[in-house]
Chain A
């Protein structure tokens, strides 16, 4: 039995979602990073990028949901208590990443805005500019979801080892 054949359906779905999230995040990073820094985009460009990323994420997640729903109907597979426990753990870890990152962004924004001479300790990054704030918030969203899925696949792999 191959590695993929030995996986449960929730684990396969976690891997598929993780791959999609990393792919979309990579497209986002490629669009926003230039010459080692965050590129300054106009308001129109930011809106276009946001719509592109959101549509890509929604479409790909819908495809995954349809594929795995169809598989569940034919196989009769249902998630059990362990699948739910692993999903809860993933969601909890993702929540902590998002919460922490948002608070860091807020702190840095307030310091930049309120403390004369304060600069974000990342070269070229400034949360006072829309592009950089957009970059920070979107990255937080992606990282939270990636941590969610990584936690799940790690739990499945640990139990399978």
Chain B
């Protein structure tokens, strides 16, 4: 019987700040209003201190009009 292997730990990073500034210099407050979050939540997400829910992540991606992987990346620890 093969031993079960657990997936290793990983980290979710994002390119929200880069994309936000590249697209018409959208402010954190403006992005927050468009996606139904607070400015402080956007600040925390950009800094990697808060992981958004799936719904909020998809709202952000839809607002930017790019693919999910362009905004959020998952790096698995080896």
Contacts and interface: CB of A to CB of B under 8 A. Distances in A.
Interface of A: 7-8, 11, 77, 79-83, 156, 158-160
Contacts of A159: 40, 43-44, 47, 49-50
24 contacts: A7-B40, A8-B39, A80-B37, A80-B41, A80-B56, A81-B37, A81-B52, A81-B55, A81-B56, A82-B37, A82-B38, A82-B40, A82-B41, A82-B50, A156-B40, A158-B49, A159-B40, A159-B44, A159-B47, A159-B49, A159-B50, A160-B40, A160-B43, A160-B44
What bracket does the count of chain B residues touching chain A fall in? 10 to 19
Contacts of A7: 40
B51 to A, nearest CB: 10
A160 B52 CA distance: 16
Interface in B11-40: 36-40
Contacts, number: 37
A153 B55 CA distance: 25
B75 interface: no
B36 A80 contact: yes
A7 B44 CA distance: 12
A77 B55 CA distance: 20
A83 B50 contact: no
A78 to B, nearest CB: 8
B5 interface: no
Contacts of B49: 158-159
B38 A80 contact: yes
A79 B36 CA distance: 10
Contacts of B44: 82, 159-160
Contacts of A158: 49
Nearest to A81: B53
Contacts of A79: 38
